[in-house]
Amino acid sequence: MKSLPVLIFTFFLPLAGLSQTYQFSSYGLDEGMFDKFTYTINQDQQGFLWIGTGKGLCRFDGRVFDNEFKGDSIPISIAHASLLDSRGRLWFGHENGLLSVYEDGAFRLIEPSDNHRSKITAIREDESGKILVLCQQSGLLVIDQDLNIIHERDPEDQENPFADKFLYDFQITPGGNLLVTTQDGLSIFRFNEDLGSYIQTGILSALQYLNVQELVKSIYEDEYWAGTADEGMFRITGSGFDPEGYSVEKIGLEAGIEYASISSIVFDGERRVWVNSLSEGIYRFDLDEMGKLGASLLFNVDNGLPSEYIEQIFVDEEGNQWFSSPGNGISVLRDQAFTFYNIWKDEAYTDVSAVYVDGDTRWFGGAGRIASVRGGGVGTITYLDRSNGLPDDKVTALYTDEQHNLYIGTEKKGLYKKNAGSSRIVPLLVSRNSLENSVNAIDGDGTILYVATYNGVYTLNPRTGERTFQTTANGLPHNKINDVLVDGNGIVWIATLTPGLISINSDKQFLINGKPKLEFKTLVEGADGIIWAGSDRGVFEFDFNQDTLVHFGTEKGLKSDYVYAIAADPRGNIWAGHRMGVSVVNAKRESVRVYGRESGFSSDIRNNAVDLTSEGQMLIGSSGGVIQYDAYQAREDTMAPRLSIKAIDISGVAYEPDEAIKLKYGKYRVRFDFVGINFNNPEQVSYQYKLDNYDEEWSEISNLSYASYGRVEDGDYTFMLRACDGNGNCSTEPLSLDISVKIPIWKAWWFVVSLVVLVLTIIFVVFKIRERNQKAIQEYLQRQLDERTREVVQQKEEIEVKNRDITDSLNYAQRIQASILPPIKKLHDAFTGSFVFYQPRDIVSGDFYWYEQVDENRFIVVCADSTGHGVPGAFMSMIGTTLIKDICLRSGITRPSQVLTTLDNEVREALNQNVETSGSNDGMDIIVLEVDMRTNKITISSAMRPVIIYSGGEQIYVKGSRSSIGGQLDEDRVEKDFIDQEFQLKKGDIIYMFSDGYPDQFGGPLGRKFKMVRLKNLLRDIHDKPMDEQYNYIKSNFFLWKEDLEQVDDVLFMGIRI
């Protein structure tokens, strides 16, 4: 019966259920970016990161964003595409069709002809060095090495092979052919020498009619990967210009992305591919030796990705992954070796105060709780607490013996034991002395247990129960024992308040001469038998074989001199835990790397709460949960920081740092601003500099990114700069810049001549004083006029910027609205023929449509016209779409009239129109059509909108209800009446539904409305034509009638042939 509570309170949970987090660093407005909408990322030859934003381009060095550049004015337009070419030039393609090229520190603008300007979606360089630019709706540009456009065809030319195509991306094959992705698949083009232009040679049949929006070259020869909208990812293998020479394979099915929308694919340098699935997150796939997809990992908002709406993935030269996001700035994943997760069931409690690894079982301790994880990453978690006999106290130490019995040390309540195979915890040693009940650490040699407490060390033989105590009375230097370590030779070491390392079972010790007493906090034995100790004054390496001692403190790069926990990883590095981070000591290189907030550390490391698994994973307990580090997943960082001088200020005058500086004679104040670009850990870049012929020695190592000199006189100087990163990777050659100051004028032979000229000039100036005074008045008046003119121009520019911001937001809203509308293909698949003519008056629309087959026989089509247009109408359309989809899919809704009645009630409730004081009459006119797919019987219920049916060649005009959806009810009405009208149709009959935007459009020779009479006549003329021709007639007729007049309302016109 005693085991019954154990069975009740022991809890099992798959490890996959833990809340894991990967540490992404995000940069937005708060970090200095100029806009949070980002689209493209690239890196120049100096190492700077360039970001295309909604407000133009900006440059990032790891710490500071900059958007002031030399050269031509950069268009304030979204840059969607970028390229670093073989000459080191950086190309950006903008949404307005312009190109900007960054070369030698300055921008140059390339402007195609007006009819060839559309959104630039891709830029590539061919083998001859020419730049090919793909414009989304206007074809291909070819630019030579001198930045001249040498190929540009009119997009309206029917002979243009790119005419009438929506172009997304392209790649250049080794033979110079083009693989171009469009909304209808992937086409192949080759250059025709006779025509001097590209011609289309075919389209890959396996991708035909798919919206292919991304195409990248694989790391394998003649292989390309394509991403589509809603159809997943494909591998394309082949060469040449014949489509038969290519094979297509759909990939990623195992990861569940067969119907994902793929917008970005990137291969990194570690045989991995990164894939962006819109609205799902980022997939990372490992590649096997044959290039096949292996293990996958999904990064999303649940495990650290700042946003699932990613525009582009970019891998910098250090191997970091960057992600651009419209609306969320940029983010970077630097080191995937760290994983952060909460082990406890209670998510509000995160503290892990003890960690111990026993084979494939991992033990974690907290306040009145213990968790064990078995089987590594595929096992289960077992929880132990007070119901198992654990005291209500913090667990400070864990240890298992050879029989896998668990020993538990607590903060104030002594030592406890759990036998292997049992879940019952029993007291093992609870003393009347409260100091002996405070356990700091436990270790053993297989037979004897050594327990570190606040009142010395006590040893315990679990088999015999024999216990002994060692305190200051037995020769210990101090009773507060912070840690105990049994090394590979069976020697027992203690960490306490002492000037060195002390053994309690041998005469070995290592005292530090000339040092006052240190408080050693934690101990570990390295793979080579060296003992490492963490203290309140840094980390000490005790090598008994070489009789040497090495100290690492903050002066050598340690994050803090106070060390709470210490461990050795499989690569021989020593890890020291601090508050809010860890320091990693590389003894061979005598370097220190710090992981802090930039790596995701936001909690304190707990005393001695660290251990190593058999797989080489390090587990660290902290106030924020468990931190797991996998050394084999860590990227080896061997690249030194890339040095650049960003600015030079000489006595208040800015000079360019790209060429030698020559100054006239004088005494100058000189300031150099520089940067060592290292995106892995920009905060840990350190610098040394020297002004040769001024400084005798190099400066002290510092994190300051500037150097100042207060008095530089005539002479020749060379400024030299070098830098190191946090891993000890340093510049092999310093960056240098020459500065020369001329000798004083009075030392030259021509000084006298110059003086005479100066005197004559002064005399001349005296005679000109009167004339100058007269001109001064005129100049003053002109300055006043110029100042007023500048104010007017500035106000005009501010208004233009605000208009652009509003347009960008509306365009983004339009994309969101378009994504909610159902695909046209679904309507085509359901009926013999159909069309949807959808023409918003503004960027976003109040008209909307929706359709779905709600069960085996019923197909529902909705045509709706919301109150207003533009942004107000779009809000109503979003509300309507959401409510209609929900209502139509409810089990109790079986008639169109029920749909309208329910919709009317829910719209009035959503807009608070059931409140008498609201006064809102917003709503919508709507048609709900239900088609019985088995019998061709239709049921129509309409609010204010007519329906025109052609059955057997005869036109039937169906009027709608006189009540619209939404708005306040009349005082004498409780509910609106919506009726169902049924018609038995035959195959080939046609149903037309439309909003009032079409008949209400002004136009024609007299500028009058089109009206319903003309609309009926138009349908009478075209109803027997194929549906695609009817669509073209309706569309062209609308624009011919409207001509140059303004569109008065949103237009929606739908046709369905049974």
**pLDDT for 547 beyond 50:** yes
Mean pLDDT of 697-723: 93
Q: What is the Cα–Cα distance from 751 to 767, expressed in whole angstroms?
A: 25
- The closest alpha carbon to 180, from 236, 253, 96, 118, belongs to 236
Instruction: Produce one character per residue of 64-80: b if its CB has 16 or more CB atoms within 10 Å, e if not.
Output: ebeeebeeeebbbbbbb
Q: What is the Cα–Cα distance from 459 to 634, expressed in whole angstroms?
A: 39
**pLDDT for 947 beyond 80:** yes
Mean pLDDT of 88-106: 93
DSSP label of 698: P
**pLDDT for 17 beyond 60:** no
**pLDDT for 359 beyond 50:** yes
Residues in Cβ contact with 32 at an 8 Å cutoff, skipping those fewer than 6 apart: 64, 65
Mean pLDDT of 651-657: 91
How far out from the chain centre does Cα 523 lie?
Answer: 40
The CA dihedral of 99, 103, 108, 114, to the nearest 10 degrees, is -20
Beta bridge partners of 228: 212
**pLDDT for 184 beyond 50:** yes
Mean pLDDT of 688-701: 93
Q: Exposed, middle or buried by CB within 10 Å (0-12, 13-18, 19+), for 336?
A: middle
pLDDT for 10 equals 36
Q: CB count, 10 Å around CB of 594?
A: 21
pLDDT for 269 equals 80
**pLDDT for 761 beyond 80:** yes
pLDDT for 940 equals 97
pLDDT for 8 equals 28
Beta bridge partners of 592: 585
**pLDDT for 378 beyond 70:** no
The CA dihedral of 235, 240, 243, 249, to the nearest 10 degrees, is -10
Residues in Cβ contact with 1003 at an 8 Å cutoff, skipping those fewer than 6 apart: 1010, 1041, 1042, 1043, 1045
Helix (H) or strand (E) holding 1053: strand 1051-1057
**pLDDT for 335 beyond 80:** no
DSSP string, 124-175: EE-TTS-EEEEETTTEEEEE-TTS-EEEE--TT-TT-TTTT--EEEEEE-TT
For 43-83, how does the pLDDT look when each residue is reduced to its tens digit (9 = 90+)? Answer: 999 999 999 999 889 999 999 999 888 776 777 789 999 99
Residue type, 534: G
Q: What is the Cα–Cα distance from 692 to 282, expressed in whole angstroms?
A: 50
Mean pLDDT of 313-338: 91
pLDDT for 4 equals 28
- The segment with the largest mean pLDDT, out of 427-431, 540-544, 982-986, is 982-986
- The segment with the largest mean pLDDT, out of 552-556, 615-619, 692-696, is 692-696
Alpha-helical segments (H) within 42-128: none
Mean pLDDT of 585-594: 82
pLDDT for 7 equals 30
Helix (H) or strand (E) holding 33: none
pLDDT for 160 equals 82
For 299-309, how does the pLDDT look when each residue is reduced to its tens digit (9 = 90+)? Answer: 998 888 999 89
Q: What is the Cα–Cα distance from 262 to 233, expressed in whole angstroms?
A: 7
Q: Exposed, middle or buried by CB within 10 Å (0-12, 13-18, 19+), for 595?
A: buried
pLDDT for 9 equals 33
Tell me the pairing of strands 661-663 and 735-741.
parallel
**pLDDT for 790 beyond 90:** no
Model confidence band, residue 920 (pLDDT cutoffs 50, 70, 90): low
- The closest alpha carbon to 535, from 575, 495, 569, 568, belongs to 495
Mean pLDDT of 341-350: 84
pLDDT for 598 equals 73
Domains and CATH numbers, the chain: 340-430 (2.40.10.500), 642-748 (2.60.40.10), 825-1057 (3.60.40.10)
Position of tokens 């008209």?
Answer: 847
Mean pLDDT of 352-362: 92
Q: What is the Cα–Cα distance from 495 to 477, expressed in whole angstroms?
A: 10
Model confidence band, residue 379 (pLDDT cutoffs 50, 70, 90): low
Model confidence band, residue 13 (pLDDT cutoffs 50, 70, 90): very low
DSSP label of 206: G
CA–CA–CA angle 641, 576, 527 (5° rounding): 95
Q: What is the Cα–Cα distance from 826 to 836, expressed in whole angstroms?
A: 12
Residues in Cβ contact with 491 at an 8 Å cutoff, skipping those fewer than 6 apart: 503, 505, 506, 508
Q: What is the Cα–Cα distance from 703 to 251, expressed in whole angstroms?
A: 47
Residues in Cβ contact with 573 at an 8 Å cutoff, skipping those fewer than 6 apart: 584, 585, 586, 587, 631
pLDDT for 812 equals 74
pLDDT for 3 equals 30
**887: which 2 tokens?**
């209502």
Alpha-helical segments (H) within 1007-1051: 1011-1022, 1027-1042
Beta bridge partners of 444: 449
DSSP label of 415: E
Q: Please give the mean pLDDT across all residues of the chain.
A: 88
Q: What is the Cα–Cα distance from 677 to 671, expressed in whole angstroms?
A: 19
- The closest alpha carbon to 201, from 136, 245, 144, 157, belongs to 245
Beta bridge partners of 96: none
pLDDT for 177 equals 95
Mean pLDDT of 582-593: 83
CA–CA–CA angle 398, 401, 405 (5° rounding): 75
For 778-789, how does the pLDDT look when each residue is reduced to its tens digit (9 = 90+)? Answer: 878 788 887 887
Model confidence band, residue 752 (pLDDT cutoffs 50, 70, 90): confident
**pLDDT for 275 beyond 80:** yes
3-state secondary structure 49-62: EEEEECCEEEEECC
**400: which 2 tokens?**
């298992």
Phi, psi at 347, each rounded to 5° = -65, -20
**88: which 2 tokens?**
């080191």
**pLDDT for 1 beyond 70:** no
Position of tokens 């891709």?
Answer: 122
Residues in Cβ contact with 309 at an 8 Å cutoff, skipping those fewer than 6 apart: 278, 279, 325, 326, 327, 328
pLDDT for 53 equals 93
Q: What is the Cα–Cα distance from 530 to 540, expressed in whole angstroms?
A: 10
pLDDT for 86 equals 94
Q: What is the Cα–Cα distance from 564 to 582, expressed in whole angstroms?
A: 10
pLDDT for 799 equals 74
pLDDT for 859 equals 96
**338: which 2 tokens?**
């760290």
Model confidence band, residue 834 (pLDDT cutoffs 50, 70, 90): very high
Percent of the chain with pLDDT over 70: 95
User: How many CA atoms are closer than 13 Å to the CA of 32, on its beta-carbon side?
Assistant: 10
3-state secondary structure of 545: coil
